Amino acid sequence: MADNAAREIASGYATDGDAVELGAVVVDGSVDAAAAVRIPLATMNRHGLVAGATGTGKTKTLQLLAEQLSDAGVPVLLADVKGDLSGLARPGAGGEKVTSRSAELSDDWQPAAFPVQFLSLGNGGRGVPIRATITSFGPLLLSKVLGLNATQESTLGLIFHWADQRGLALLDAKDLRSVIQYLTSDEGKADLKGIGGVSPASAGVILRALSNLEAQGGDEFFGEPELDVADLLRQVDGKGVVNLLELDDVQANPVLFATFLMWLLAELFEELPEAGDLDRPKLVFFFDEAHLLFNDASKAFLERIEQTVKLIRSKAVGVFFCTQLPTDVPNAVLSQLGARVQHAIRAFTPEDQKALARTVKTYPTTEHYELEKALTSLGIGEAIVTVLSEVGAPTPVAWTRLRAPRSLMGAIGEGEVRAAAASSDLHGKYEQAVDRESAYELLAKKFAAPGPPEAPEAPERREEPGLFEKTMDNPAVRSFFRSAASALGREITRGLFGNRRR
């Protein structure tokens, strides 16, 4: 009876095209190796969710998905929150557990390594540093990072609008600070006529939030050279590159890291052409610790996430959110996720029980499992799965015993990561930060007191406190900004998420 039920479930996962093999169906505690559970590659741009409590095997599932996508020539962007996904770059070590799992699934397991590009946010990590300018990040995403309320978010939007109108790129935190100080000065207030006003109180909150961000080291992620998202869409010897973004110090500034990932997704949406329905995605984006993105998010922010997830399918980009509970993801986004890989839920508290009940309601009905019991009884490396079939219909719910990854299930050494990053062809492109002349430097150069001849050739990034308070009283400042705007070009345009369009 169990075999018949397993085959019935597996029939919903049959595919004609290529697929990612997850594992095999389990019914009444028995696994049927012939009852395969898989995700068609053609439906992976319909997004997905990988969820489960700590220690249930989520990370290994991400590793398994990334390996097979790479083998299929599909690049992957994967955030390494715990620091233990670097093993993708080295063949797996095998062992008794791997041998046993492979035997029961009739899986011809062979160790394999995959092309990994190690990336870090800013200069503090082990990978190739990636950055974004303040201008490119935009007011909506930056408001999330700074923890601004709706009124302050609107104020920041006005400040960006003014800078955009004049073609003034805000490259880093000091550039944004200089513009705010100018616009709130007596000389600058006239420039806000026609676009609204910036209250001193709101401007003060934004300036304090910027200072806090700098004190936490968060400003090191903003600057140039800015990441070109085309560098995430590469292959090596026919395999998709696994872009592994180091986030093992995520607790230092969790909201910044999550929002930076959203910026990357927004950039992909804006930069990639329409692709239609392909036999496989151009990129699959794994969004780990997804709850950090949605916590305390404004209505406008959530609406942009929903729109981006909905529309990026047409660019052949798949997005998989990874978190502990499906309830961490808003319903409007959750409803767009075609694949669900749910590891065990620990229902110890009344809140956990409510989350469990809500999770059950997100699955199709099934006569083979009592889902509330199943979701709390899953073993490590097992999951409740439903995906979209090749014709776009939900597959039957399947208790699935998952395959073992082919690569090393654990971290490689820090020295090995640094060496791999240093030998990357992206190292020379992004390693050295560039602080080209911008609003802050131009003002400092124009109004700084005369000094030794060598001083203007190597200006300090941080000028003495009170510089702008002193210089903004000068009536030449306003005409200076206008001439700078004329030189820098026309108004900047912005995309769906407020990020700058080139």
pLDDT single digits (tens) 203-254: 889 999 998 888 887 788 899 999 999 999 999 999 999 999 987 665 567 7
What's the pLDDT at 70? 98
Q: Is the pLDDT of residue 469 over 50?
A: no
Q: Residues 158-165: what's their mean pLDDT?
A: 84
Over the range 230-251, which residues count as b (16 or more CB within 10 Å of their CB) and which as e? Answer: ebbbeeeeebbbbbbbbbbbbe
Which one is predicted more confidently, 184 or 67?
Answer: 67
CA distance 475 to 411: 58
Q: Which residue has the higher pLDDT, 176 or 192?
A: 176
Say which residue, 352 or 286, is predicted with more confidence: 286
pLDDT at 464 over 60: no
**Tokens 């390494």 sit at which residue?**
80
**Placement of tokens 């990988």 in the chain:** 50
Q: How confident is the model at residue 276 (pLDDT cuts 50, 70, 90)?
A: confident
What's the CA gap between 202 and 439, in Å, rounded? 22
Looking at residue 447, its pLDDT comes to 46
316 three-state secondary structure: coil
Mean pLDDT over 123-149 rounds to: 90
Q: Mean per-residue pLDDT for 126-132? A: 93
Top pLDDT among 382 and 203 is at: 382
Q: Are 137 and 499 in contact (CB under 8 A)?
A: yes
Structure tokens at 290: 């997804």
Across the range 477-500, mean pLDDT stands at: 51
pLDDT above 50: residue 472: no
The residues, any chain, with a CB within 8 Å of residue 276's CB and separated by 6 or more, are 314, 316
Q: In the chain, what percentage of residues exceed pLDDT 70?
A: 85
Maximum Cα–Cα distance across the chain: 90
In the predicted model, is pLDDT for residue 476 greater than 80?
Answer: no
- Residue 438: pLDDT band by 50, 70, 90 thresholds? confident
Range scoring the smallest mean pLDDT among 223-227, 286-290, 484-488: 484-488
What is the chain's length? 502
- Give the angle subtended at the CA of 444 by the CAs of 207 and 156, to the nearest 5°: 25
Distance CA 45, CA 93 (A): 32
- Burial of 390 from C-beta contacts in 10 A (0-12 / 13-18 / 19+): middle
Beta bridge partners of 339: 48
pLDDT range class, residue 461, cuts 50, 70, 90: very low
Given pLDDT bands bounded at 50, 70 and 90, which one contains residue 194?
Answer: low
Residue 455 has pLDDT above 60, yes or no: no
The helix or strand, by DSSP H or E, that contains position 260, with its residue range, turns out to be helix 254-271
Of 10-24, 80-94, 373-387, 446-460, least confident by mean pLDDT is 446-460
Residue 382 is predicted with a pLDDT of 97
Residue 82 banded pLDDT, cuts 50, 70, 90: confident
The CATH architecture one would assign to domain 2-126+237-281+297-429 is: 3-Layer(aba) Sandwich (3.40)
**Helices within 378-475 (DSSP H only):** 414-422, 427-430, 439-447, 467-471
CB of 336 within 8 A of CB of 309? yes
How far apart CA 341 and CA 416 sit, in angstroms, is 32
- 36 pLDDT higher than 90: yes
Residue 111 vs residues 54, 238, 351: alpha-carbon distances, Å: 26, 18, 41
Q: Which of 289-303, 404-418, 421-435 has the lowest mean pLDDT?
A: 289-303
Q: Minimum mean pLDDT among 271-280, 340-349, 438-447: which range? A: 438-447
**Cβ-based burial of 142 (10 A; exposed 0-12, middle 13-18, buried ≥19):** buried
- pLDDT, residue 11, reads 95
Please state, in angstroms and rounded to a whole number, the distance separating the CA atoms of residues 45 and 42: 7
pLDDT of 500 higher than 80: no
Q: Is the pLDDT of residue 475 over 50?
A: no
Stretch 455-482: mean pLDDT, rounded? Answer: 43
Locate the domains of the chain by residue range: 2-126+237-281+297-429, 134-222+438-501
> Which three-class secondary structure state does DSSP give residue 239?
strand
Q: How far is CA 218 from CA 244, 361, 427, in A?
A: 20, 39, 22
Give CA–CA dist 23/38, Å, rounded: 7
Q: Residue 315 — pLDDT band, cuts 50, 70, 90?
A: very high
Assess contact for 6 and 35: CB atoms under 8 A. Answer: yes
199 φ, ψ to 5°?
-75, 145
DSSP code of residue 381:
T
Give the pLDDT band of residue 340 (cuts 50, 70, 90). Answer: very high
Query: Quick one: pLDDT at residue 493?
Result: 64
Q: Taking residues 258-284, what's their average pLDDT?
A: 91
- Whether 368 shows a pLDDT value over 80: the answer reads yes
| Weakest mean pLDDT among 41-55, 141-155, 207-221, 330-344 | 207-221
Mean pLDDT of the chain: 85
At residue 497 the predicted structure's pLDDT band, cuts being 50, 70 and 90, is: low
Q: Which residue has the higher pLDDT, 331 or 191?
A: 331
